[in-house]
């Protein structure tokens, strides 16, 4: 099938690596945010900002998978 669309396996491998890197980076940031929400005293503004970022990360991860 890849031959039909003239897609090289190398291109697919590179795209997979990029997606895996992005996914890993987002997962690591998600863990950092969760740890911050659980462990630190935060102002309401900081709390809202972290919650918004966490929601955005979850949406972005869902798009990648």
Q: What digits encode the pLDDT tens for the residues 6-64?
A: 666 888 888 888 999 999 999 999 999 999 999 878 889 999 999 999 999 999 999 98
Q: So what's the pLDDT on residue 5?
A: 59
Sign, Cα dihedral of 46, 47, 52, 54: positive
Res. 1: pLDDT tops 60: no
**Distance, CA of 60 to CA of 26 (rounded, Å):** 8
Q: So what's the pLDDT on residue 54?
A: 96
Map out the domains of the chain as residue ranges: 9-64
Q: So what's the pLDDT on residue 39?
A: 84
pTM: 0.76
């Amino acid at each position: 099938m890849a031959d039909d669309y003239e897609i090289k396996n190398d291109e697919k491998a590179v795209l997979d690596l990029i997606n895996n890197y992005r996914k890993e980076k987002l997962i690591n940031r998600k863990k950092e945010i969760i740890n911050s929400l659980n462990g630190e005293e935060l102002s309401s503004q900081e709390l809202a900002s972290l919650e918004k970022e966490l929601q955005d990360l979850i949406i972005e991860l869902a798009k990648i998978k």
